[in-house]
Structures are given as C-alpha cells and as structure tokens.
Structure 1
Amino acid sequence: MASRGSRHTAGAFDIRTIIALLFGVYGVVLTIVGVVQPHAEIDKSVGVNINLWAGIGMIVFAVVFVAWARLRPIVVPDEAGTSKE
C-alpha cells in the first residue's frame, strides 16, 4: 500500500516571494530618491515626483505579492516522483 508523502509549502523559495523582495528593494530605493531629490529634477517631469510615486507603487506591489504568497502558499510534496494512487 503506497502511503502519501507529507507535504510542505515552498516558503522562501516561492517565486512570488523573490519577486516581492526585488520590487520591495527597488521601491524603497526609489522612494528615498524621490524624497531627497532636488525640486529642479521634479520640474523636469512636469511637477510630478515620479520617483516617489513609482517607489510607493512598487512597495504596494511587493506587499500584495507577499500577502498572496502567504494566503495561497504553493504546496510541494516531500518525495519526488510520487505517483497518485
């Protein structure tokens, strides 16, 4: 009788977590640049602080991806090559 292998989640190796980490890091960098950049640079983009808004958007995107990965984790079997019986 074949027993089912135990299952666990992908955790930190989930691609959504890696994408969230990258977007989070870039978002924090852009947000900091947006806060400290001179007003002359903002005037070049028609008065919109695009670095600040893009950074905030990236941070929100990263939070959504982390929430998605935590609420709907990918389940991986412990044993490779198990058959469904």
Structure 2
Amino acid sequence: MASETPVRTRRAGAFDIRLIIALLTGVYGVVLTIMGIAFTDDAELQKAAGVNINLWAGIGMLIFTALFVLWAVLRPIRVPVPEGDETPAG
C-alpha cells in the first residue's frame, strides 16, 4: 500500500468570512446599543409599544457577534499550503 503524505495546512486567519461578518454585525450592534441607551426618547418608545427596539436589537447583534468570533476561534478554517510555499505557519 502506498502511504499518503499528510497535507500541510494553516489557518485562514483574517480571511475567514466569519470574522468579517462578526466585524460588520459588531459595528452595527455597538451603534444600535448606543442609540438605544443614549438617544431614545419617550416618543420613540411610544411608537414601539414601550420596547426599546434599538437597544434590544443592538444587544442581540453583539451576542451574535460574540458567537461568531467564538466559532471562528474554536473551529478555525484550515487551508492547504502549497508545497513550494515557504512562509511560516501561523
């Protein structure tokens, strides 16, 4: 039997799409949370039946962001390294 050589891999790092999605939702989450805390008045709360929608949506987006970052850290995407590539892994 012919034994196969193991394929060398490295982490996708900053090019992992999960981190890009987390960055975008994180920015929107921070903006909505700040808007919900600092800039929501009683008239806007009355329109939303007394619920601070910006605050809750912002908190939800921040939780979503934390879960995506946790997922990317715990299960990183591994990409194969071409044989001629001599760049250090990491």
* TM-score normalized with structure 2 length: 0.81
Aligned to 2:65: 62
- 1:44 counterpart residue number: 47
Gaps in structure 1 of 5+ consecutive residues? 81-85
Are 1:6 and 2:27 counterparts? no
1:46, CA displacement in angstroms?
0.3
Question: Percent identity between the aligned chains?
Answer: 61
- The RMSD of aligned alpha carbons is 1.8
Aligned length: 80
Per-residue CA distance 1:39-82 (angstroms, 9 max, x = gap): 211111000000000000000000000000000000001118xx
In structure 2, stretches of 5+ residues that fail to align are: 84-90
Read off the aligned partner of 2:11 and give its amino acid letter: T
Q: Structure 1 length as normaliser, TM-score?
A: 0.85
